[in-house]
Amino acid sequence: MSALVCGSMAFDTIMVFGDKFRNHILPEKVHMINVAFLVPELRREFGGCAGNIAYNLHLLGEQALPMATVGKDFGPYAQWMKKTGVSQQYLLELADDYTGQAYITTDLDDNQITAFHPGAMSFSERNQVPTDAGIKIGIVSPDGKLGMIEHSQQFKAAGIPFIFDPGQGLPMFDGDELKVLIDQATWLAVNDYEAEMLQQKTGLTAQQIAERVEAYIVTKGSGGSVIHTTEETFKIPSAKAAAVVDPTGCGDAYRAGLLYGLMNDLDWNVTGRIAGIMGAVKIATAGTQNHNITLSDVRDEYAQQFGGTF
pLDDT at position 11 is: 97
d(CA 258, CA 272): 7
Q: Span 76-89, mean pLDDT?
A: 98
pLDDT at position 201 is: 98
Q: Span 243-252, mean pLDDT?
A: 90
Over the stretch 211-237, which tens digit does the pLDDT of each residue have?
999 999 999 999 999 999 988 999 999
Instruction: Name the residue with higher pLDDT: 268 or 14.
Output: 268
Q: Phi and psi of 281, rounded to 5°? A: -65, -40
Return the ∠ at Cα 119 (arms to 186 and 141), rounded to 5°: 15
* Least confident stretch, 30-34, 157-161, 197-201, 220-224: 30-34
Amino acid sitting at position 185: A
Over the stretch 235-244, which tens digit does the pLDDT of each residue have?
999 999 999 8
Task: Please tell me whether residue 39 adopts helix, strand or coil conformation.
Answer: coil
Q: How does DSSP classify residue 226? A: E
CB 245, CB 284: distance < 8 Å: yes
d(CA 144, CA 87): 21
Beta strands in the chain (DSSP E): 2-6, 10-16, 41-47, 63-71, 90-94, 100-106, 112-117, 135-140, 162-164, 187-191, 215-219, 225-228, 233-236
Instruction: Please state, in angstroms and as integers, the Cα–Cα distance from residue 244 to each residue in 52, 250, 283, following that order.
Output: 18, 11, 6
Indicate if the pLDDT at residue 111 is higher than 90: no
Indicate if the pLDDT at residue 94 is higher than 80: yes
d(CA 172, CA 196): 15
Q: What is the value of pTM for the model shown?
A: 0.94
Indicate if the pLDDT at residue 272 is higher than 90: yes
Indicate if the pLDDT at residue 107 is higher than 90: no
Q: How would you label 245-271 residue by residue, b for 16+ Cβ within 10 Å and e otherwise?
A: ebebbbbbbbbbbbbbbbbeebebbbb
% of the chain with per-residue pLDDT over 70 = 99
Q: Rounded mean pLDDT of the chain?
A: 95
pLDDT at position 110 is: 73
Residue 257, Cα to own-chain centre: how many angstroms? 11
* Least confident stretch, 27-31, 85-89, 185-189, 290-294: 27-31
d(CA 270, CA 218): 16
Q: Which of 38-42, 121-125, 283-287 reaches the highest mean pLDDT?
A: 121-125
Indicate if the pLDDT at residue 130 is higher than 90: yes
pLDDT at position 64 is: 97
d(CA 67, CA 33): 39
Nearest residue to 289 (alpha-carbon basis) of 21, 37, 58: 58
Nearest residue to 155 (alpha-carbon basis) of 142, 179, 136, 176: 136
pLDDT at position 34 is: 85
Q: How would you label 44-83 residue by residue, b for 16+ Cβ within 10 Å and e otherwise?
A: ebbbbbbbbbbbbbbbbebbbbbbbbbbeebeebeeebee
What residue ranges do the domains of the chain occupy?
A: 2-8+49-98+129-306
> Mutual orientation of helices 49-59 and 250-263 as an angle, nearest 10°?
50
Indicate if the pLDDT at residue 30 is higher than 90: no
Terminal alpha carbon distance of the chain: 18
pLDDT at position 289 is: 97
d(CA 120, CA 103): 16
Choices 3.60.15.10, 3.30.70.330, 3.40.1190.20, 3.40.47.10: CATH for 2-8+49-98+129-306:
3.40.1190.20
